[in-house]
Chain A
Amino acid sequence: MPAASAIRTLIVDDQLTMRALIRTSLQQIGVRDIEEAPDGEAALRAVITKPVHLVISDFNMPNLDGLGLLRGIRAHPPIAKTAFIMLTGRADRELVQRAVQYGVNNYLVKPFTTQQLKEKMESVFGPLT
């Protein structure tokens, strides 16, 4: 069982509010090592420089959206296996399907509870301690 505290996580969202909310939820789950990026491009640069275990990313962002980020990560061998949870603002089947093609690990519809986030993370990493 992986320890939540060992999962280095990058939060990607153009909204400060959402980043703060996700960070708070992650902290409640027990994640300690949390980085933030305001858009896909910054996130891609960040994960290449300093790999993470998990990226939690919004879809709709300037510069590079969530799909672009996912695609960039999967296309770069050293980080291609980074776990990726996509946040979506609404039930967009097409978007989720596209994300699946690009290798998304899971997705989460906003608004979400800490418990929902934890479940999504556990579906990827297994039960967290």
Chain B
Amino acid sequence: MSDDPFEAIKATFFQECEELLGDLETNLIALESGDTDIETINACFRAVHSVKGGAGAFGLDDLVRFAHVFETLMDELRSGRKAVDEDVVQSLLRASDVLNDHVTAARGAGPAVDPDRSQALIAELETLTHGAPVSGTDADAAGDMDDDFGFTPVALSLDDFGAGEAMPLMDLPALDLPPLDLPSLDAPVVTGGEQTGWKIIFRPHPRLYANANETALLLRELGRLGPISVEMDDSGLPSLEALEPLDSHLVWTIHLDAPVAELDVRDVFDFVETDCDLSIMSVMAEGAGASVVSDSLPDLDDGLPSLDTGAAAEFDIAALVAMAQADTASRLGGGGETAPVAETPKSTAAPAPAAPPVAANNATAAAPAAASAATAPVTIRVELDRVDRLINAVGELVIQQAMLAQRVYESGLARSSDISLGLEDLELLTREIQDSVMAIRAQPVKSVFQRMPRLVREVAAMTGKKVKLVTAGEDTEVDKTVVERLSEPITHMLRNAIDHGLESPEEREAAGKPVEGTVKLAALHRSGRIVIEISDDGKGINRQRVRSIAEERGLVTPDQILSDDEVDNLIFLPGFSTAQEVTDVSGRGVGMDVVRRSIQSLGGRISISSNPGKGSIFTMSLPLTLAVLDGMVVGAADQTLVAPLAAIVESLTPKAEDIHLVGGVDPVLMFRDEFVPLVDVGQTMEFRNEPTELKGGVVMIVETEGGQRAGLLVDAIHGQRQVVIKSLETNYRHVEGVAAATILGDGRVALILDIDVLVNTGRRRTTSLAELKMAS
């Protein structure tokens, strides 16, 4: 990040833009579906307005110009001067797309927006706003109002703060404002009477005590300034059962009977000022009471302490907010007419006593709003780099913990020893830290899903099909890296679903289906993974066609017997493309095999199931994080390997009589009345040429993403462990059958097996059962 504060803010701006544009899209979609609620329109307006505001600050002129025209139309809609109809919404959606592109271009993350496209849409929006495009630049886009308005600023003399004179308000009827109790900016101005001393109200916060400060010492210090009398208010002290010993319950009122300087009084509280509510009032000779010169006491009622002022203040605030909101609402609802000028100032002038009746009416209305504000989670923005450093460190911690555990185990310490027990606690704690850290990186898939309606619109327009996109599970959370890399496969599959899956409106009508096709995009958590489903109600997969193409390209042989699902999944094979001709939309040379590969690189799987005439469902399943894995540590040909635990169904020691040959070549294992293909890991991974000794060997029954079962033959199983995933591609290169690498407790590097690849290559490579040296 740059040191220039301006650059840093600019980065924040683009981040914020992304959120704003997401909100805009969401609200426009709501508009499209008929929700023309004023708040929805307002939210759209605000989003565009905010983008424009920020863009103006950074001199992003193209963006400002476009956003301005967009905003003007939104303003017309907001005020009710223009009705929201289908045409308008479609234009707004298109405008939102162009606005998006402008932002991307401004950020330098994309090409400059085609000026013609931008200008055409500006004309379109202006036509909707004014009935015709506006020639030339709109004068008020960046205009300054000072000249037009003859506005006279209302000056305040800060020295007069508290003097109680009404504020001059141009030539409008002056508001009958009551006196102010705001602090003067200069030295305390004491009006009327001679000051004889100070009244100090002091309410320590728990933090004051936590910081090792002590009321008694402060009082003693005050006593040095002059004679003091101290009152302690313990009315806030709860009953003994309810007492929270670390809380602060007492309030002190100190009368200092000496006309010392305020600064001297303040000095006493110098170190605790932020850890207490403090009110310092001067006491006048006439006994006119105290006038507040300090402002850190939150009490509203003349600085008189009582422990329930908090609640009272809350009530007042709620009433005030409700009143201000009610007024705002009536103003916003006013449509195009001008506001009743004469009426509002009157109610403005109504002093505080008028508030309680308003409160009675509006407090209930304000309460839910206040509650929602209170429950909104507090967030901070953190540079991703810092989070990743933390994650990396936690990864190392996990490894260290495992290594330590291993050393302790090897040292022969009893399991009941203090060290072993302590290590167990450490392991639990490490896990907890790891989970929490992973949760920091977790993000809802919403950010990806939000971009899809635009894509669907574009593809629908290009193919001439009518499509409705339904999304579900946007709040499903998954690691940020996974979220980012979901965009491409989802985009591709959505394109595919619309282009190949859905029929044309005519075909749909003929088939008795609604003319508008539905594509559903859903995310859900399933057994520790995230599942993304993309389904359509189109024609489904034409299996005969798929089969004949696959045969044509030599992907399958004519005599191969394939289940329906197997035929459907042929489309993922490299070099397969069913599009009759290459279309603009999905036939860009990127086949489903590329989609599958990009998902596999995330440790994910994809499959399809199709119902002819009814539609297809693509299912992607991905790990929630790319950082850790629960694995089974196994040995094969002197190598230590890790198999993902999620894939393992069972492990067993095979008996010779359970192993059979299919067609005299492929070894299979009889497992629960079912034959599963047997894969010799040591040989398949080419760690050794000769087959594994079956004697003493262990078979792990694994299940691939596609539900296919196989037995992995290894030498030994060492145990279950959580491992930190280190990319092999980043550190070395891709190796067939290996998903990633990890560092084990003893410091050795172990490869993590890619079960699906292993099972598929293993079946091809393990040549003959005859080569397996059978246990005798």
Contacts of B350 in A (CB 8 A): 75
B154 in complex: contacting residue of A18, A110, A124, CB < 8 Å = A124
Contact between chains at B53 and A49 (CB < 8 Å): no
Among B12, B172, B317, the most chain A Cβ lie within 10 Å of the Cβ of B317
CA distance A93 to B56 in the complex (A): 20
Given contact pairs A21-B57, A77-B179, A103 touches B348 in the complex (Cβ within 8 A)? yes
User: Which A residues are CB-close (under 8 A) to B369?
Assistant: 41, 63
**Contact, CB under 8 Å: B185 / A15:** no
Q: Contact between A123 and B155 (Cβ–Cβ < 8 Å)?
A: yes
**Which residues does chain B contribute within 8 Å of A82, judged by CB atoms?**
182
Q: Mark A31-47, 1 if CB is under 8 A from B, else 0.
A: 00000000011101100
If A50-B296, A103-B169, A105-B156 touch, does A91 touch B148 (CB 8 Å cutoff)? Answer: yes
Does B172 lie within 8 Å of A64, measured CB to CB? no
Report whether B16 and A17 are in contact in the complex, using a CB–CB cutoff of 8 Å. Answer: yes
Given the interface pairs A60-B46, A82-B182, A93-B148, the reply to whether A15 lies near B320 with Cβ below 8 Å is no
The answer to whether A124 and B153 touch (CB under 8 A), given A77-B177, A81-B177, is yes
A residues less than 8 Å from B179 (CB atoms):
77
C-alpha spacing A21/B351, complex, angstroms: 35
Within 8 A of A (CB), among B7-56: 8-9, 12-13, 16, 43, 45-46, 49-50, 52-54, 56
Q: B288 interface residue, CB < 8 Å from A?
A: no
User: How far is A105 from B158 in the complex, measured between Cα atoms in Å?
Assistant: 13
Quick one: which of A14, A62, A67, A105 contacts B153, CB cutoff 8 A? A105
Is A14 a contact of B50 with CB atoms below 8 Å? Answer: yes
Contact of A125 among B156, B321, B348 (CB under 8 A): B156
Interface presence of A30 (CB below 8 A): no
Specify which of B172, B185, B323 is in contact with A75 (CB 8 Å cutoff): B323
Confirm or deny: B178 has a beta carbon within 8 angstroms of a beta carbon on chain A. Answer: yes
Residue A29 CB within 8 A of the other chain: no
* Interface pair B53/A62, CB less than 8 Å apart: no
Does A74 belong to the interface (CB within 8 Å)? yes
Interface size class on chain B is 35 or more
Q: With a CB–CB cut-off of 8 A, which chain A residues contact B328? A: 64-65, 67-68, 71
Residue in A15, A67, A94, A123 whose Cβ sees the most chain B Cβ within 10 Å = A15
Contact B182 A81 (CB under 8 A): yes
Q: Mark A103-122, 1 if CB is under 8 A from B, else 0.
A: 11111011100000000100
Task: Kindly identify, within residues 581 to 599 of chain B, every residue whose CB is under 8 Å from any CB belonging to chain A.
Answer: none
**Given A69-B324, A111-B53, A111-B56, A48 and B300 touching (CB < 8 A)?**
yes
Q: Does the CB pair A20–B156 fall under 8 Å?
A: no
Mark contacts of B670-682 with chain A using CB atoms, 8 A cut-off: 1 yes-contact digit, 0 otherwise: 0000000000000
Tell me, in angstroms, the Cα distance from A24 to B12 when the chains sit together.
14
Residues of B within 8 Å of A83, CB to CB, are: 156
Interface size class of A (residues with CB under 8 A): 35 or more
Partner of B145, one of A20, A80, A93, A105: A93
Q: Which chain A positions have C-beta within 8 A of B300?
A: 48, 78
Contact A96 B151 (CB under 8 A): yes
Interface residue from B169, B183, B298 paired with A100 (Cβ < 8 Å): B169
The residue of chain A having its C-beta at the shortest distance from the C-beta of B172 within the complex is A101
Q: Which one of B50, B316, B325 contacts A64 once the chains associate, using CB atoms below 8 Å? A: B325
Q: Is the interface of B mostly helix, strand, loop or mixed?
A: helix
Q: Is A120 a contact of B156 with CB atoms below 8 Å? A: no
Q: Name the residue of chain B whose CB is nearest to the CB of A5.
A: B185
Please pick, from A63, A72, A89, A94, the residue contacting B320 in the complex, using a CB distance under 8 A: A72
Distance (Å) between the CB of A106 and the closest chain B CB? 4
- Cβ contact within 8 Å between A124 and B155: yes
**Could you say which of B215-223, B338-346, B619-627 contacts chain A?**
B338-346
Contacts of B13 in A (CB 8 A): 17
Do residues B56 and A77 form an inter-chain contact, with CB atoms below 8 A?
Answer: no
Q: Are B53 and A110 in contact (CB under 8 A)?
A: yes
Which of A16, A24, A124, A126 neighbours the largest number of chain B CB atoms within 10 Å of its CB? A16
B249, chain A: closest CB distance, angstroms: 20
B173 to chain A minimum Cβ distance, whole angstroms, is 9
Query: How far, in angstroms, from A93 to B145 measured CA to CA in the complex?
Result: 8
B45:A17 contact, CB within 8 angstroms = no
Given A15-B53, A81-B167, A102-B348, check contact A49 B313 (CB 8 Å): yes
Smallest Cβ distance from A108 to chain B, in angstroms? 10
Query: Could you tell me the distance in whole angstroms from the C-beta of A49 to the nearest C-beta in chain B?
Result: 5
B residues less than 8 Å from A61 (CB atoms): 46
Please tell me if the beta carbons of A48 and B313 are within 8 angstroms of each other in the complex. Answer: yes
- Docked-complex contact A2 and B145, CB < 8 angstroms: no
Q: Is the CB of B12 within 8 A of A20?
A: yes
Q: Is the CB of A71 within 8 A of B156?
A: no
Closest partner residue, chain B, to A78 (CB atom): B181
> Contact between B317 and A48 (Cβ–Cβ < 8 Å)?
yes
Q: Does B180 contact A (CB under 8 A)?
A: yes
Q: Which of B709-753 contact A (CB under 8 A)?
A: none
With CB as the reference atom, state the residue of chain A lying closest to B17.
A17
Question: Which of chain A's residues has its CB closest to B327's CB?
Answer: A71
Question: Is there contact, CB below 8 Å, between A3 and B185?
Answer: yes
Partner pick for A48 among B54, B144, B167, B320, CB 8 A cutoff: B320
Q: Is B576 interfacial (CB-CB < 8 Å)? A: no
Q: Please determine whether B145 and A109 come into contact, CB atoms closer than 8 angstroms.
A: yes
Q: Does chain A have a CB within 8 A of B225?
A: no
* A24-B6 CB under 8 A given contacts A44-B317, A48-B320, A93-B149: yes
Contact B172 A81 (CB under 8 A): no
- B170 close to A (CB within 8 Å): yes
B145:A96 contact, CB within 8 angstroms: yes
Contact B185 A2 (CB under 8 A): yes
Q: 1/0 per position for B738-774, CB-CB distance to A under 8 A?
A: 0000000000000000000000000000000000000
Residues on the B chain within 8 Å of A89, using CB:
49, 52-53, 56, 71
B residues 301-317 in Cβ contact with A at 8 Å: 313, 316-317
Q: A42-B373, A44-B321 known; 4 other A-B pairs, CB under 8 Å? A: A18-B57, A93-B148, A109-B144, A126-B155
Q: Which residues of A contact B (CB under 8 A)?
A: 2-3, 6-7, 14-18, 20-21, 24, 40-42, 44-45, 48-51, 53, 58, 60-65, 67-69, 71-72, 74-83, 88-91, 93-94, 96, 98, 100-107, 109-111, 120, 123-126
Using a CB–CB cutoff of 8 Å, the interface residues on chain B facing chain A are 5-6, 8-9, 12-13, 16, 43, 45-46, 49-50, 52-54, 56-57, 59, 68, 71, 140-145, 148-149, 151, 153-158, 161, 167, 169-170, 172, 175, 177-183, 185-186, 295-296, 298, 300, 313, 316-317, 320-321, 323-325, 327-328, 331, 338-339, 341, 344-345, 348, 350-352, 355, 369-370, 373
12 contacts between A and B (CB under 8 A): A18-B57, A24-B9, A51-B295, A63-B325, A74-B175, A75-B324, A75-B352, A75-B355, A79-B180, A105-B156, A125-B156, A125-B158
Q: Which 4 A-B pairs have the closest CB atoms?
A: A72-B324, A123-B153, A111-B56, A81-B180
